[in-house]
Amino acid sequence: MIGPSGATRVMVATKPVDFRKGAEGLAALVRDAMGANPFSGAIYVFRAKRADRVKLIFWDGTGVVLVAKRLEDGEFRWPKVQDGVMQLSAAQFQALIEGLDWRRIHEPQRAVVPVAAS
């Protein structure tokens, strides 16, 4: 799967949602429950009560995109169920969507920029 760049924000709703909702219903949740703009270009990730299902919505510049995935074997690794939203890095998002443990992915160490050639 082609994923977001490092500049793309990925927001995860930590509480399960009704998976009968479509793009409009999830966009309303982004606006009302998360207090965010569903047309900002960020990727919003939602989970079902069953841990093997995920839905994503995002604005691609021409319309709202809805992606649904169900793992055939295994479960997605989700944060603790609570009210709220958490942000993932692009690498953590890729791991989550592939069914891997995203908690094991860490941000790279920042390199010190040299001021002069050595």
Q: Percent of the chain, pLDDT > 70?
A: 85
So where are the chain's domains?
A: 10-104
Distance CA 68, CA 47 (A): 10
Q: pLDDT at position 25, please?
A: 96
Given a cut of 50, is residue 1 above it in pLDDT?
no
pTM, 2 dp = 0.78
pLDDT tens, position by position, 67-102: 999 989 888 877 776 667 888 888 888 888 888 877
pLDDT tens, position by position, 35-75: 999 999 999 999 998 889 999 999 999 999 999 999 898 88
